[in-house]
Amino acid sequence: MKTLEYDVAVIGAGAAGLATAKVTSAAGYRTLVIDREDFSGGVLLQCIHNGFGLHHFKQELTGPEYAGKLESEARESGADFQLSTTVIDLKPQPDGRKLLIALSPSEGVFQIYARSVMLAMGCRERNRGNIGIPGTRPAGVYTAGLAQRLINMSGLLPGKSAVIVGSGDIGLIMARRLSWSGIPVKAVVEIRPFPSGLNRNIVQCLNDFDIPLYLSHTVSRINGADRVESVEISPLVNGVPDETAAFTIECDTVLLSVGLIPENELSKKCGVAINATTGGPLTDAWRMTGVDGVFAGGNVLHVHDLADFASDEAALAGMRICDYLAGRRPGREDAVTTGANLRYVTPNRYIPGEDIQFFMRSMVVDDNAVLLAELNGVEIMRKKLRNVAPPEMISVNIDGKLTQSGGELRFSLLTGGDK
């Protein structure tokens, strides 16, 4: 069996994996980027709209342009690529290395030994089976990402008229894309009382095209024999569909934009513990999982709102991988927990006295909130936040001088009278 040996194996060639590869290869560590697709870039290749790169590259790019710059940086730094290749197993070895079993059409089954591994597999879309919409099972039901790939990469139109279920960013962007392609979008239906996507996408993709957004509504039935014919939409009253107030919209296409799930089947095989809230690995301050030498970053760790942030976080993980390969270890680490109005915070641990960046998600909508950090119950930071909402991640840097004493670091989001 063919065997390869590397210092770093990066699984996934999207925004996170490419950013990691640039850092580790530039530091002189032999790095291999592995991806099951024929081209690197991941989902970025089908995102032909602009808005990428403003944070990471300080310029506005389309998805393919952003991916191209990341790939160029990784290759120029010396990273190797193994594309059209799927990693089917990941096993820690007694000598500390990790064994990756890989499969490709050209190589067949082969193995890769790596001193460290970066998990950067991204995420997948939730589908109809995940949300259980009643009705028949006709053709014409797609995830928003699949429809995006069909139009932008294959030049195929998914239908003639559409309803979008969920107001996630991919769905909002597809509302605009379908409209540009001559496919009228008759409605976007969101189960929550507020949109799931970024506000800029609500404005640019729905308001600019006069597409109605039904908040606190659900698609209670999909109708059709061979092809979708219509959907039934019901308002929610106390969280329950009110079918007496239901109405029907005729369409032949339904796009689902109902959330993303970090892709962690391989992580679980390796013995990585999963955070029940984020669906991604539990990690320490270095973004290292509980399996020694296995790191995680980007959407496989937690779903990001911007690809730039996934790249930034993965680059930080890349620097820590270099530390790990040089023989350094985090040392003492203490717990990070969440308080009021926060869904999660990552990483899950911190090193007392060391600067660190945290990412977290709000559970509420508020245009004048306060982020509070407490160490062992004592306030160490208070930061005003504008336009807080669940779709947008909160990022905060904590100065190591504030945490030198160590202990439980707790973040809370204060709203209304709590401030």
267-270 contacts: CB < 8 A, separation 24 or more?
267/90, 267/119, 267/121, 267/294, 267/296, 267/300, 269/89, 269/90, 270/90, 270/91, 270/92, 270/98, 270/294
**Average pLDDT for 275-284:** 95
**Average pLDDT for 331-341:** 94
Question: Over the chain, what is the mean pLDDT?
Answer: 95
Locate 405 and state its tokens.
């004493």
**Average pLDDT for 3-17:** 98
Least confident of 25-34, 106-115, 363-372: 363-372
Of 65, 112, 30, 33, nearest in space to 314 by CA:
33
pLDDT at 358 over 70: yes
pLDDT at 223 over 70: yes
Q: Which of 100-104, 123-127, 329-333 has the highest mean pLDDT?
A: 100-104
> Which residue type does 4 have?
L
Could you tell me where the DSSP H helices lie in 89-185? 128-131, 144-154, 169-180
**Average pLDDT for 154-183:** 96
> Which residue type does 29 have?
Y
Residue 215 is predicted with a pLDDT of 96
Residue 131 is predicted with a pLDDT of 85
Locate 140 and state its tokens.
């014409």
Please indicate whether the domains covering 127-258 and 335-418 agree at the CATH topology level: no
pTM over 0.85: yes
> Which residue type does 83 have?
L
Tell which phi-psi region holds residue 399, choosing left (phi > 0), alpha (psi between -120 and 50) or beta: beta
HSE, side-chain direction, 13 A CA sphere, residue 49:
18
pLDDT at 419 over 90: no
Q: Where are the domains of the chain?
A: 3-124+261-330, 127-258, 335-418
Confidence of residue 197 (pLDDT cuts 50, 70, 90): confident
Residues 339/347, Cβ–Cβ less than 8 Å: no
Residues 371/380, Cβ–Cβ less than 8 Å: no
Could you tell me the CA-to-CA distances from 248 to 211, 212, 221, 232, 236 in Å, in that order?
16, 14, 9, 4, 15
Q: Between 1.10.10, 3.10.450, 3.40.50, 2.60.40, what CATH number should domain 335-418 receive?
A: 2.60.40
**Average pLDDT for 176-186:** 97
What is the DSSP code string of 177-245? Answer: HHHHTT--EEEEE-SSSS-SS-HHHIIIIIGGGT--EETTEEEEEEEESSBEEEEEEEEEETTEE-GGG
Confidence of residue 391 (pLDDT cuts 50, 70, 90): confident
To the nearest whole percent, how much of the chain has pLDDT over 70?
Answer: 99
To the nearest whole percent, how much of the chain has pLDDT over 90?
Answer: 90
Peptide linkage before 347 cis (omega within 30 of 0):
yes
pLDDT at 253 over 70: yes
Residue 130 is predicted with a pLDDT of 84
371 membership: H or E segment, kind and range? strand 369-375
Could you tell me the CA-to-CA distances from 278 to 118, 260, 282, 332, 417 in Å, in that order?
18, 10, 9, 24, 29
Confidence of residue 303 (pLDDT cuts 50, 70, 90): very high
pLDDT at 334 over 70: yes
CATH of domain 127-258: 3.50.50.60
Q: Is it true that domain 3-124+261-330 has CATH number 2.60.120.10?
A: no
**CB neighbours (10 Å) of residue 330?**
16
Residue 1 is predicted with a pLDDT of 86
Confidence of residue 417 (pLDDT cuts 50, 70, 90): low
